[in-house]
Structure formats: structure tokens, C-alpha cells
A and B are shown apart, each in its own frame.
Chain A
Amino acid sequence: MTPTLAVDGLSVRFRLRDATVHAVTDLSLTLHRGELLAVVGESGCGKSVLAHAVLGLLPANATVTGTATLHPDGAPPVQLIGAGERQLRTLRGRYIGLVPQSPATSLTPVRTGRALLTETLRVHGRLPANADQVAEEAGLDPHDLDRYPFELSGGMAQRLATALALAPDPGVLLADEPTAGLDRPLVDHTLDLLRRRCDAGTAVLLITHDLTAARRVADTVAVMYASRIAEHRPADDLFAAPSHPYTAALLDALPDRAFRPIPGHPPMLTALPPGCPFAPRCTQADDACTALPTTTHGTACHHPLTPAGAA
């Protein structure tokens, strides 16, 4: 089945005054219709940059290499990396949506929720009268649509931002930490909403550091570490029997497992080591790990925990 979104060899570097930040290195993944892929990793590993790179929203000091091909329904495939701003503008919203990380900064403060929502619907060719319906689906009381963003609590603002992303009904939805700072019931509601959209055919890329959230709704999980993907496998397999030592250690840190931290800390993205980036903290590491591992069966490791080919 043709993937809706195919990323191949994506690398993003930022030029700073005295250093280069390698935010994403040689990243490849595919996303299919009706699939919810969760990209997990600690803060600072580059996962937000991935979403912004695909949408063409990076600042001017970013250098992007690689391809990200979007296959919209009933239209020829589009190469997102390097696409002009005008072309990207026709794609954003209608074909790829973004649920942003901090809704407070992404909502126009001088317009009510309803004004924003009806405008979005109208621009993308949908009936403005659906505003109440879209709001309800996102868990927002239609009465709250008549408020201004500063009158909304953090949770309500996030629901409004979600509604705005869902309104044009895009084929691909990128959700960048949509549940950060929310209460558990709202986290669950947002995740279930994304899951429902996914079941209805949307391809969803969920970026989060919350492993529990990923476990709740994801079909596949990609674990990022220091700008690379360490492991990318079906969710059930990954959580039951993680193959990469980093994934195993990360799961071990959860309070409902061993609650044990991983010793050491990740490398700075301005000074990535030549070999496997996790080697300094890895219990399995040896001399072979001074070379970059190749990805076999979804795992980039010289000494995977689960034998290759097994579940």
C-alpha cells in the first residue's frame, strides 16, 4: 500500500554562531492511511524539528537534505522538502495539518474561537456551519467558541487548537506534544480523538515524550535518540519486547516498571559522536559500537536485545 507520507534520508542542521546543531540525521520513516505512528524521545532529541521540517516551517538558518513525499488522495505525489512557499501553503491545512505544541502562542489573540474556526473551514472549502460540530468533536463546548483565546484555560485552548487542525480534515495529521501540561482525563480524550480520526482513515504522526500516551493509542512507535531513530516497530512488539537497549532502558524508567533512570545524559546535538550515539550509556556496548549501526528489522543496533526476525 502506498504510504501517505514517505520520509527518506531526512537531515536537518542549524547553523549557529559557533556551532552546528544536528537536529535530525538520516531519518527515514513511512506513514500509512489509518496508521498512528508515535515518535517518542526525550526533550532535545529532534522530534519537533521533524514535524516542522515536513511542513516547511523551519527558520532561515536551517539546512534540510533528503526527501519527504506526500501522496495525497487523488492527486500526484508532492515533494515537500524544497517545495516553494506557495505550493506548501496549498498543502498545509488541507492535506497536512498540525496540532501545535503550545496553543497559547499559536492562537490569534484578537479573534474569537468561532471566528478562527469558521475562517479555517471556509478557506478549506467546508461549511462554516460545521464549527459547532468540529468543536464538540474536539471536546470543546460550543459556547466556549465565542470566547477569546486569553479567556480560555490551557486545556480549552489546546482543544481549540486541535479543532482548528481537524477542521479541514487533512489526510495527514502531525500532532506535536498535543498533551503537554494537560490533565490525565484531557490527555486521554485528546489521544482517543486522534485515534478515532486515525480509524476513520487519517494518517497521524504523534510526537510525544509520554510513553504511556504512545502505548495507549499508537500502532507503530519510532524511538528517537540524538537525532536518529533507534527503533521503529509495531507498538505492541516494542512495548512487550524492546529490541534497542535505549528503548528497554526508557521503558524501565517508567513508574509502573522499575522506575530506574538511565545513567548519564544524551550527547549535545552540536557534538554527536561518530559511532552509535547511545554507546556511552549502553550496557551492551563494545568496540563494534564505534561504528554507526545499520537498521535491521527496525532496530539500529549492533547488539539488539531481541534476536533479529523474532517478534
Chain B
Amino acid sequence: MTDRPGLAAHDITVSYGRHTVLDRVSLRVEPGETVGLRGPSGCGKSTLLRVLALLHRPDHGHVTLDGVAVTGARHTVPATTRIRIGVLFQNPRSAADPRLSLTDLIAEPLRAMHRPPDAVATRVAELAEATGLTTDLLRRQPHAVSDGQLQRACLARALAHHPDYLLCDEATTMLDASTQAHVAAVITDHQHRHNTGVILVTHDPALIHRWAHRIIDWPPTGT
């Protein structure tokens, strides 16, 4: 298990008070593969994704990135490690700061890592083109764009740092068929170029069969 590439959760247990959300759950995603995670809502899938994204420290168990244990409370994990894992959430409205324009939204991860302004501008333009966002749309704030356009901006943001892994939590459930297909195409393209590992949480059987290389039913216990 040492130095094997991949993002893996090992025996993760998370409880809130007496309520156990995750009980010794394990999951692994390899570079370049798309893992579909299937199961009813409210059973802990979102919590597992947050643990894998290094946003939440589990009560027991640990997360390994390429064989190295990386668990910690949010800010004790170095930013250079955190940015290797991107997250895409279900509801773009609550995943986007309503005060920022789409440009600032997408540029935020780059600015947080102190990239020089011209590098930021170039990368934002690249991402906008990849996700089909025009300059006119980029200037707007979230309330002035549709859900589909906003989710594409969130996707651009998640891909800003060329993450090695992308975790999608019901990311296309609120989208129409065309936007969903577009989001899938952009993620797949990124995957081909950068060998990205993708975890896809969804309850749409057609989507999971079409998009995932490997399907896991909840709860996942194997590594």
C-alpha cells in the first residue's frame, strides 16, 4: 500500500454526537479512472467526499494520497496538498459566493495560491473557454446567470489548479441534459489530459452506467 498512486480512504468513521454517519468506510480511486458511487441520499456520501477532499477530519481512520497519509484538520493540511483534490458540489447557488463575479469566482483559487495576475488572467480565460463561458457571462454575478452556467463556473473553479483528483457530489443532478453532458465532457477531457481520478456520486442509473468505469454501491468497504 506504500507509494501506490491513488486517493484512498481507509476505515473512516465519522460521528456527530451519538449519530454515526460513516462507519469504517473505505474507498479508493486510481488516477485516470472514474468511480461511480451509488446510494440513497442522507447516508453519508457527502461526508465521505468532504473527508476525502481533506475538508473534514474523521474521528477514526485516515486518508492517503499516493500512499502518504494526509489527514488533518482543514488548515493543518498544507495548501499544496489540498489543491490536488478538487470538489464540485450539488447546488451551485450555495457553492458560489453571491458577491463575486464569475471571473473572481474562478480566479479565487489561483489568487489564494498567490499566482501572478497575468498567469491568473490567462488561466481564467482557458478555463472559461473549456467550460463554454463567454466574456459577457464572466462579468456577471451568480444571481444574473442560470444554474447551468453557474455550475460550469464552479467546475472551472474546481479545475483551476489542474487537480489530480476530482470529487463530484451530485454535481449534475440539478442540471438539464445538455449542461450535464457538457460538464461530463469537460471533466472527461481533463481526465484524459491530466490522468485525473474522478469520484462521481449520483443516483441517476443512466448517468452512472454511461460515465463510470467502476461502480460501487454504498457503503463502500473495500480498498
Chain A residues with a Cβ under 8 A of chain B: 41-44, 153-155, 180-185, 209, 211-212, 249-251, 253-256, 259-262, 264-265
Q: How far is the CB of B176 from chain A (nearest CB, A)?
A: 4
Q: Which residues of B contact A209 (CB under 8 A)?
A: 175-177
Q: Which residues of A contact B132 (CB under 8 A)?
A: 264-265
Please report the C-alpha to C-alpha distance between residue A41 and residue B207 in the assembled complex, in whole angstroms: 19
Tell me whether A261 and B178 are in contact (CB under 8 A).
yes
Q: Which residues of A contact B206 (CB under 8 A)?
A: 212, 254-256
Tell me whether A42 and B182 are in contact (CB under 8 A).
no
Tell me whether B180 and A184 are in contact (CB under 8 A).
no
Tell me whether B181 and A261 are in contact (CB under 8 A).
yes
B193 on interface, CB distance cutoff 8 Å: no
Nearest CB in chain A to that of B133: its residue: A265
Bitwise, B196-216 to A at CB < 8 A (1) or not (0) is 000000011111011100000
Q: Which residues of A contact B121 (CB under 8 A)?
A: none
Tell me whether B146 and A155 are in contact (CB under 8 A).
no
Contacts A42-B146, A261-B182 supplied; 15 other A-B pairs, CB < 8 Å = A44-B147, A153-B42, A154-B41, A180-B174, A183-B203, A211-B177, A255-B184, A255-B206, A255-B209, A255-B210, A255-B211, A259-B184, A259-B210, A261-B178, A265-B148
Binding site secondary structure of chain B? helix
Please report the C-alpha to C-alpha distance between residue A185 and residue B178 in the assembled complex, in whole angstroms: 23
Tell me whether A261 and B41 are in contact (CB under 8 A).
no
- The answer, among A42, A44, A183, A262, for a CB contact under 8 Å with B41, is A183
Q: 6 pairs across A/B with beta carbons < 8 Å? A: A42-B146, A42-B179, A43-B175, A250-B176, A250-B177, A255-B184
- The answer, among B41, B146, B173, B203, for a CB contact under 8 Å with A43, is B146
Nearest CB in chain A to that of B185: its residue: A261
Tell me whether B178 and A155 are in contact (CB under 8 A).
no
Q: Which residues of A contact B175 (CB under 8 A)?
A: 43, 209
Q: How far is the CB of B121 from chain A (nearest CB, A)?
A: 22
Given contacts A43-B147, A255-B209, whether A262 and B203 have CB atoms under 8 Å apart is: no
Binding site secondary structure of chain A? loop
B149 on interface, CB distance cutoff 8 Å: yes
Q: Which of B14-33 contact A (CB under 8 A)?
A: none
Please report the C-alpha to C-alpha distance between residue A211 and residue B181 in the assembled complex, in whole angstroms: 13
Q: Which residues of A contact B149 (CB under 8 A)?
A: 265
Bitwise, B30-51 to A at CB < 8 A (1) or not (0) is 0000000000111000000000
- The answer, among A43, A212, A251, A255, for a CB contact under 8 Å with B148, is A43
Tell me whether B205 and A41 are in contact (CB under 8 A).
no
Nearest CB in chain A to that of B207: its residue: A255
Tell me whether B205 and A184 are in contact (CB under 8 A).
yes
Tell me whether A155 and B41 are in contact (CB under 8 A).
yes
Please report the C-alpha to C-alpha distance between residue A124 and residue B176 in the assembled complex, in whole angstroms: 37
- The answer, among B42, B148, B204, for a CB contact under 8 Å with A44, is B148
Please report the C-alpha to C-alpha distance between residue A301 and residue B148 in the assembled complex, in whole angstroms: 25
- The answer, among B174, B178, B207, B211, for a CB contact under 8 Å with A262, is B178
Tell me whether A184 and B203 are in contact (CB under 8 A).
yes
Q: Which residues of A contact B173 (CB under 8 A)?
A: 181
Tell me whether B210 and A42 are in contact (CB under 8 A).
no
Tell me whether B178 and A253 are in contact (CB under 8 A).
yes
Tell me whether B178 and A183 are in contact (CB under 8 A).
no
Q: Which residues of B contact A212 (CB under 8 A)?
A: 206
Please report the C-alpha to C-alpha distance between residue A149 and residue B42 in the assembled complex, in whole angstroms: 17
Q: How far is the CB of A43 from chain B (nearest CB, A)?
A: 4
